[in-house]
Amino acid sequence: MFNLPVHAMTGKENKKADPPNIIVIFADDLGYGDLSVFGHPTISTPNLDRMAFEGQKWTNFYVAAPVCTPSRAGLLTGRLPIRSGMSSDKRRVLFPDSKGGLPQSEITIARALKGNGYQTAAIGKWHLGHLSPHLPTDHGFDSYFGIPYSNDMDKVEKTDHYTLAEEERYQAYNVPLMRDKEIVERPADQRTITRRYTEEAVGKIKEFGKDPFFIYLAHNLPHIPLFRSAEFRDQSLAGIYGDVIEEIDWSVGQILEALKAEGVAENTLVVFTSDNGPWHVFRTHGGTAGPLRGAKGGTFEGGMREPTVFWWPEGIQPGVVRDMATTMDLLPTFCAITGTDLPDDRIYDGYDISPLLRGTGKSERETVFYYRGQQVYAVRKGDYKAHFITQLEYGNPTAHPVTQPPVPLENTATVLETPLLYNVNVDPGERFDIAADHPEIIAEIRAVMETHKAGIEPVENQLEK
C-alpha cells in the first residue's frame, strides 16, 4: 500500500537544475530551552541564533520517539519506528550486545538521495546497529566516521553513572570510534570528539565540491557523560553543560563558514535539531526543556518537542514557523526539493514541508503520535493533546530529584480511565488539565488514535535480537 501523505511531492517535474546540498545536524539529548535563541539565559549560541535569524525557527517541531534509537530510525526513514521494528517495550534502544539494527528493506534519506546522484556521508552517533548489514555504509552512506551507539555504553568502571557524570574520564567508557566498518580508536577520546566530527564535516564539504551532497552529522553530545575540548573548558556561564553546547554551536559556525568558503552556502539547506529532550536527573549535567513539561524518555512535550532551525539562503523564507512538523517530514521534503523519487510500496509518516520553507503554504500535518516503545501514550491533534497512558521519564528520580513538576517514584505505566487533555498552544507546559470541559475532544482524538493503531502491521522487532 502506498500512503505518502503529500501530493505529487516526489516527481521528476520538481527537479531543479542545481539541486540543493543538504546537511542535517542532530544533537543528542538537547533540551527545548538549551539554545539562547530558544530562551536560555546563560548559554551563548551565536551561530545557531544567526541561523534562526537568517532562516527559520520552528517552535512546534517533534521527533519520532523520546529516546535515541527509534528517534533516529524515524528521521532517516520518514516512518514511525514501529513500522521498521526499531522500537520495543523491553529494550528501548540498541545496546553493544544487540544483534539487530535498521533493516535493509528500509530506505534512508541517504539511500534515496544517492540514487539521485548525491554524495553522502554519515558522521557521529549512529545507534541503528553497530554490526553489518546495519551500519551507515550499508544504508546508502558513502562513508562513516563516528561512535556507533551512545557514549555512555561499554562502561568498564564500576563507578555509578551519577558520579562519573561529575568527572571527565573518557577511559571509563570503552566505546569504539569507527571509520566506515573498522574500529580506529578504542576507547574513543571523547574530549575531542566534537572537534573531530567538525573537522570531518568540513573536510567532506571541501571534498564534495560543487556536486550535490547530503551530510548527516549526529553529535554524541550533550548526552551524558559530558566532554569538551580544552579550548571550551570553563568558557560558558552555564558550566560544563554550557561548554558542551557552546562547542556544538562553534561546530555549526565552522560548517557554515566552510560552505561559504566553497561557494555553496546559498544553495545548501542546513537543519539543526535534537533526537529527544534532556536528561533531568544529572544535576547541572542535563539540559532544560524550558517552558515544556517532561524530559528524555517520556511523552510530555519536553521529551519530544525539539529546538529546530532551518537555514537555506537561496530557498527559505525567513521567520518563525509555528506549524507542526516532525523529523519524519525531512525525507519527503528532501525528496521534493531534489526531485528524488521514492518507492510507492510502503507507508510513510512524513509530509512535504517545503511550502513552509519557501513561505508559500501551510503544513499538512494535523496529528503527532507520541510513542513510548510500541505503545501510543499520547496524541496531539491541532491545538489539543490527550494523554492516554503516563509514565516517568528516563532516570532515577530518587538519586537527584529535580523533576518539575513533581512526579511519583514508581516508574510504571498508568492507563488513565479519564485521559489528560491540554491545549498545548495555550498551555505548552501541560499544567492545566481541561479533560472535564471537553469530553468531545477526547473522543475525537481517541478515534484518531484507534484508526492509526489499526493500520499498524506487526514487523520483526530488531531491538530485542
Which of 225, 201, 271 minimizes the C-alpha distance to 29? 225
Q: What is the dihedral of CA 320, 326, 330, 335, to 10 degrees?
A: -100
Partners of residue 320 on adjacent β-strands:
57
pLDDT in tens, 89-137: 999 999 999 999 999 999 999 999 999 999 999 999 999 999 999 999 9
Residue range 418-462, pLDDT digits in tens:
999 999 999 999 999 999 999 999 999 999 999 999 999 989 999
Share of the chain above pLDDT 90, in %: 86
Read off the pLDDT of residues 295-336 as tens digits, 9 standing for 90 and up: 999 999 999 999 999 999 999 999 999 999 999 999 999 999
Q: How many CB atoms lie within 10 A of CB 427?
A: 17
Do 366 and 382 touch, CB atoms closer than 8 A? Answer: yes
Q: Find cell 501530493 and name the residue.
A: 7
| Average pLDDT of every residue of the chain | 92
Alpha carbons within 13 angstroms on the beta-carbon side of residue 326 total 30
Mean pLDDT computed over 140-148: 98
- Please report the pLDDT score of residue 318 as a whole number: 97
Say how far apart CA 145 and CA 286 lie, in whole Å: 26
As a whole number, mean pLDDT of residues 374-398 equals: 88
Is 50 exceeded by the pLDDT of residue 413? yes
- pLDDT number for residue 238: 97
- Burial (CB < 10 A; 0-12, 13-18, 19+), residue 457, is exposed
According to DSSP, the β-strands at 325-326 and 61-62 are parallel
Q: How far apart are CA 274 and CA 190, in angstroms?
A: 19
| Amino acid in position 37 | V
Residues contacting residue 451 through CB under 8 Å, at least 6 positions apart: none
Confidence of residue 17 (pLDDT cuts 50, 70, 90): low
d(CA 392, CA 370): 14
Task: Please state the three-class secondary structure of the chain as a single string.
Answer: CCECCCCCCCCHHHCCCCCCEEEEEEECCCCCCCCHHHCCCCCCCHHHHHHHHHCEEECCEECCCCCHHHHHHHHHHCCCHHHCCCCCCCCCCCCCCCCCCCCCCCCCHHHHHHCCCCEEEEEECCCCCCCCCCCHHHCCCCCEEECCCCCCCCECCCCCHHHHCCCCCHHHECCCEEECCEEEECCCCHHHHHHHHHHHHHHHHHHHCCCCEEEEEECCCCCCCCCCCHHHCCCCCCHHHHHHHHHHHHHHHHHHHHHHHCCCCCCEEEEEEECCCCCCCCHHHCCCCCCCCCCCCCCCHHHHECCEEEECCCCCCCEEECCCEEHHHHHHHHHHHHCCCCCCCCECCCCCCHHHHHCCCCCCCCEEEEEECCEEEEEEECCEEEEEEECCCCCCCCCCCCCCCCCCCCCCCEEEEEEEEEECCCCCCCCCCCHHHCHHHHHHHHHHHHHHHHCCCCCCCCCCC
Euclidean distance between the first and the last CA atom of the chain, given in angstroms as a whole number? 28
Give the Cα separation of 303 and 66 in Å (integer): 5
Asked if pLDDT for residue 159 goes beyond 50, the answer is yes
Cell of residue 150, nine digits: 551512545
Q: Which amino acid is at 362?
A: K
Catalytic residues: 68, 127
Across 406-428, average pLDDT: 83
Residue 113 has what pLDDT?
98
Give buried/exposed letters for 178-190 (b at 16+ CB in 10 A, else e): beeeeeeeebbeb
Tell me: pLDDT of 404 over 70.
Answer: no
Contact 352, 325 (CB under 8 A): no
- The span from the CA of 214 to the CA of 337, in Å, is 13
Q: Is the pLDDT of residue 5 over 60?
A: no
Q: Return the higher-pLDDT residue of 233 and 397.
A: 233
Is the per-residue pLDDT at 406 higher than 70? no
What is residue 173's predicted lDDT score, i.e. its pLDDT?
A: 96
- For residues 389 and 409, the model is more confident at 389
On whether the CB atoms of residues 299 and 70 are closer than 8 A, the answer is: no
pLDDT at 415: 95
pLDDT number for residue 273: 98
Q: How far apart (Å, rounded) are the C-alpha atoms in residues 391 and 68?
A: 18
In the predicted model, what is the mean pLDDT of residues 69-85? 98
CA 160 to chain centre: 27
The pLDDT value given to residue 314: 95
**440 Cα distance to chain centroid:** 33
Quickly tell me which residue has 508559500 as its cell.
360
Give residue 412's pLDDT: 84
What cell numbers appear for 112 in the block?
534515496
Query: Looking at residue 212, what is its pLDDT?
Result: 98
pLDDT band at 409 (very low <50, low <70, confident <90, very high): very low
Return d(Cα 291, Cα 322) in angstroms, integer: 16
Mean pLDDT of 379-408: 70
- φ, ψ for residue 156, nearest 5 deg: -110, -10
User: Is cis: bond before 222, omega within 30 of 0?
Assistant: yes
pLDDT for 394: 77
pLDDT, tens only, 252-309: 999 999 999 999 999 999 999 999 999 887 878 999 999 999 999 999 999 999 999 9
pLDDT band at 163 (very low <50, low <70, confident <90, very high): confident
